[in-house]
Chain A
């Protein structure tokens, strides 16, 4: 009897280990493949050149700058709106049919394919609001895409702040906004940061909605303001990878390595911020 139970336990443990290992192997071999193909064409010069129709002269300067612009603008737009919405829904709104309806809609929005946001962005921002194929239009479209993710993650983080902390704040004669701003949000910040980084990691890899709103694949200049046209890394990579010449595939792989590095840096920053605020856990 007992041996069977132990065996079952061991079996389950080994199954979990094997599946984790399998996932890691797949991920590792993908990265290895990309590295093998892309490292040879990767150089500092590669980051400083504009795209070209000759693979050995092509670089991703414009795409890299475009991505940095888009990420900053998206974060600037989506993070305040997302956190404010989460605070309102968790701390202020009364739980009634209307707030439940909003909640369901936000959850649903998180699951909508990104191309749909691209269509919305094209109609509303590019055409109706006349923004053209600018960084603004791209950042606003991506903001819509990531807003539900930030809202949901922030809500969960705020909900996880124990109620006695709020009570302690009120018992000291604090106004609700003081309790929320000085106690609840700082306590929830590690969770909120996780949500923000998850959302931005998704935004950085999106190409479909940006192609939809007209991000160009050949940009021979660096955007100087949010009203300029742009391209981003995934669009540039997609463009190179879909060409017939093999040497373009190599620089596409180099582009992927750069994209991964940017993503990794972003995550690192988030971890550092999270760590700073987790000191008092």
Chain B
């Protein structure tokens, strides 16, 4: 279908928490500059899969990862690979907005600063906030606490913070689940604007959302990849019965 080289790729990825399997052998390819949605019922391994791509699973004790994961052709789990380096290029936005208890300005500059960013920080803040569609709302109060913002604004700040690192990939773990419909719509618009610059992988519970914003969709069920492909095709013409049952709301 696509000739482009995948930016992220897994082969026979198996993950288990202790003796509980979470993902049983998934092989997928994620292409650059697209929005890829990962859908599936609760506990199907969506978040676990997502957290593999920036090795956030490393912090969970007793987790076992088998199989291969490549980022730009590099084996992510090679013993010589530093996960810190991967996370510089693969950013993440979490389920609940989690700004640092600092000013809006410092929330954005902290990441670049610890990686000894050489450019102008003021410009970086402005650029990141503009890309996250938050600049106009906060430009007059950059040094106020990030907690003074609304939930939706906080989440856009978290996206701006991720953008400031100039990542290749942005992982989003149900970024709208804690937000109201209006704030959700703003984030969805934003994702549409960001797709030209970044590769976005978004986990979502909300199938309408996946259909609205993504180019490609992966459907996971009980740790297995059931179906994947172009979002339009998958939603209008699913090839598997399970996919059809899920997207028509028969279960999940």
Footprint of B on A, CB under 8 Å? Answer: 162, 164-165, 167-175, 178, 182-183, 186-187, 279-281
Contact = CB atoms under 8 A, between A and B. Distances in A.
Given A171-B91, A173-B87, A280 B102 contact: yes
A174 B114 contact: yes
Interface string B62-102: 00000000000000000000001111100110101011111
Contacts, number: 69
A170 B162 CA distance: 11
B100 A168 contact: yes
Given A173-B85, A173-B88, A280-B146, 16 more contacts: A165-B100, A167-B94, A168-B98, A170-B59, A171-B91, A172-B110, A172-B111, A172-B161, A172-B162, A173-B111, A173-B165, A182-B114, A183-B100, A186-B101, A187-B101, A280-B101
A174 B115 CA distance: 8
A171 to B, nearest CB: 4
B246 interface: no
Contact of A172 (B85, B91, B102): B91
14 contacts: A164-B98, A167-B56, A167-B94, A172-B87, A172-B165, A173-B88, A173-B115, A173-B165, A182-B110, A186-B101, A186-B102, A187-B101, A280-B147, A281-B147
Contact of B87 (A162, A171, A186, A280): A171
Interface of B: 54, 56, 59, 84-88, 91-92, 94, 96, 98-103, 110-111, 114-115, 145-147, 158, 161-162, 165
A186 B102 CA distance: 10
A281 B145 contact: yes
B146 A164 contact: no
Among A165, A174, A186, max chain B CB count under 10 A is at A174
Given A280-B145, A280-B146, A281-B145, A170 B87 contact: yes
B155 to A, nearest CB: 12
- Indicate the member of A168, A172, A175 with the most B CB atoms within 10 Å: A172
Contacts of A175: 84
Contacts of A183: 100, 110
B151 to A, nearest CB: 13
Contacts of A173: 84-88, 111, 114-115, 165
Give the one of B85, B103, B111, B165 with max A CB within 10 A: B111
